[in-house]
Amino acid sequence: MNRLKNIDKRWLILVVVVIGILIAFLPPVKSRLSTQYELLRTRIVYFFNPPSEAVFEPSETDPLTVETAVGTARAEMLLTLTPEIKATATPKAGPTAKPTLTSTPVPDSVILPGVVYVDQHGRWNYCGPANLTMALKFWGWSGDRDDVAKVVKPGSPDTKLDFIQRGLPDKNVMPYELVDFVNTQTIEYRALSRYGGDIDLLKRLIAAGFPVVVEKGYYERDYTGKIDWLGHYLFTTGYDDARGGFIVQDAYLKPGKDLLSKYEDYQDGWRSFNYLFMVVYPANREDEVLNLLGPWADETWAANHALAFANQEIADLKGNDLFFAYFNKGTSHVALNQYSDAAIAYDQAFSQYSKWDTAKGNRPFRMMWYQTGPYFAYYYSARYQDVINLANTTLKDTISKPTLEESLLWRGRAYYMIGDTNAAVADYRAALQVHADWYPAVQALQELGLQP
């Protein structure tokens, strides 16, 4: 009798185990378990290899010291603020329309109606799709965040690698990808982005009925309790001078609808991305948007304006903020195709990064997840080893898995230039495993006579 009871117990245990396995393979459960596994894995990797401690050191630096550069920043600022700006390379062409800045005063408070809040919850790395969806839905678009993600972060061509969520390894969607989505995947809407925005410009756009998406730094405590920096898009739909801030829709926070972001905090975070802003609008209202933008309608003017402001902040700021100011200077030079000047600015930025006051928080080790200006600068200055070293630091030391397609692409390009074609091809193919059919990697392979 006891033997029969033991057999029954074993069968019961077996049935329970089988049922548990079957439940674990249900998509919602599998996704949650896999997500928790990835979080645990990342924390283990970061425990033994803290990403904030990884510091890239350029192999070739400008003879000017950072202190000397700070002293000359004001002179450079005055030069770049003059009406006739002489670039060291052929500037990009701006829109044909060249409107002047309107001086019409704006109200003290504007809160745009008709905002449809879209969060990024239940998805990883969905900040870009969620914010662009809000910007499009404001004008009546019928799609959703997954429609955006299918295009801007399609994931791996091997669906087995995306069993949790399509596009999960793709950590970031670049601003140009969001702009391209609007301009190529819709007919009735258009989008543009510019560097060097300011609070008054955003108010003017909002007062005229055009909400704005900005890219900014975001601070929160990590699981160890230290302040961490992340990149974040923020849909801005109003402002209130009496309360001293913008009205924003934060796709990440709970709750995230109609939050107040104080002007000082807003600008402090916005600095991390060279004051980049994006406007989505109906195609038939483009002239209206260009007139509201004034000189910002010209992309070259906007980049030069951003450069001037970066120089001003280099002269005025101190401490950790100097890293972002120098980085912005490099980014502005890249936008103007001034790559040698950009490389010098980025050298100075990384010098500041190495001296980061970690008592105030972790180093912003995710910076190269979101911005790729240093790759442009070093590559087009023929500093290929610096491209490789920076990509290695980014891919090996700041992220738990090497899933940043931009870093893989630029490292591949640099490998090719120093004669290591096999390593270049491997990086191009790895980039396509993160972002299927990504044109720059496809083109790089095709130029070598290879199929993606």
| Domain range for 21 | 2-48
What is the tens place of the pLDDT at every residue in 400-419?
888 899 999 999 999 999 99
pLDDT at 257: 97
Dihedral sign computed on CA atoms, order 95, 96, 98, 99: negative
| pLDDT tens column, 26-79 | 455 444 444 444 555 555 655 567 888 889 999 865 444 333 333 334 334 333
Are 33 and 24 in contact by the 8 Å Cβ rule? The answer is yes
- Domain containing 291 — which CATH number? 3.90.70.10
Confidence bin at 85 (pLDDT 50/70/90): very low
What letter represents residue 250's amino acid?
Answer: D
Residue scoring higher pLDDT (15 or 394): 394
CA-based end-to-end distance of the chain: 66
Task: Tell me which residue of 193, 162, 390, 358 sits closest to 277, measured CA to CA.
Answer: 193
Same domain? For 23 and 131 the reply is no
Whether 40 and 177 share a structural domain: no
For residues 162 and 18, membership in a common domain is answered with: no
| 269 neighbors 364 (Cβ within 8 angstroms) | no
* 40/114 same-domain check: no
Of the listed ranges 291-300, 355-364, 370-379, the least confidently predicted one is 355-364
Regarding whether 260 and 113 lie in a shared domain, the answer is: yes
| 114 and 187, same domain (yes or no) | yes
pLDDT tens, 334-360?
Answer: 999 999 999 999 999 999 999 999 998
* Percentage above 70 pLDDT, the chain: 77
**Cα distance between residue 296 and residue 389, in whole Å:** 35
Count of structural domains, the chain: 2
In a domain, 200, yes or no: yes
CA dist., res. 21 & res. 390, Å (int)? 43
- pLDDT tens-digit readout, 133-163: 999 999 999 999 999 999 999 887 765 444 4
**pLDDT score for 445:** 98
Shared domain for 289 and 193, answered yes or no, is yes
Number of residues in the chain:
452
Choose between 102 and 344: higher pLDDT.
344
Residue 234 lies in a domain: yes
By 3-state DSSP, what share of the chain in percent is helix, strand and coil, each rounded to 5? 55, 10, 35
Q: What is the pLDDT of residue 1?
A: 53
Block residue for tokens 């402090």 = 268
Clarify whether residues 109 and 44 are in a common domain. Answer: no
The partner residues of 109 in beta bridges, in order of sequence, read: 240
Identify the band that residue 81 occupies on the pLDDT scale cut at 50, 70 and 90. Answer: very low
Task: Name the domain boundary from 297, 314, 346.
Answer: 297
What pLDDT does residue 82 have? 34
Is the per-residue pLDDT at 211 higher than 80?
Answer: yes
> Is 255 inside any structural domain?
yes
